[in-house]
Amino acid sequence: MTDYRISFTATSSRPLDAGAADLLSAALGGMPGANGVEESTQDRRRRRVAAVFWIQVRLGMADAARDGSRLAKEALKVAGMGDAQLVELAVSMEKRPARASGGA
């Protein structure tokens, strides 16, 4: 299994709650398949949320991109931002730092 760092940004059609980044982080932290949340942020003025999390994939980059985008969209739904659209997704193969080793 190989560690992949997934970072994404999503834009909401609705105004974001003050705690949107915390809700997204909690959703990712409890998501089966996500192996650690590095960070989550929000920009209420631009209606954007962003997060970085880790997954492990056996086969390669294409599978990591597919699984990462699926987990990102599912986490947005769980966090109450199901209408948000992914506008950026980055996948990189890296050694996961110890600080991002928690999660499901």
Say how far apart CA 43 and CA 14 lie, in whole Å.
12
Q: Give the model's pLDDT for residue 49.
A: 98
What is the Cα 96 distance to its own chain's centre?
A: 15
The amino acid that residue 35 corresponds to is N
Task: Assign 99 a pLDDT band (cuts: 50, 70, 90).
Answer: low
Say how far apart CA 85 and CA 7 lie, in whole Å.
14
Q: Give the model's pLDDT for residue 96.
A: 76
pLDDT digits (tens, 9 = 90+) for 9-42: 999 999 999 999 999 999 999 999 999 999 999 9
* CA-to-CA dists, residue 8 to 1, 36, 42, angstroms: 22, 14, 12
Domain 2-94: give its CATH architecture: 2-Layer Sandwich (3.30)
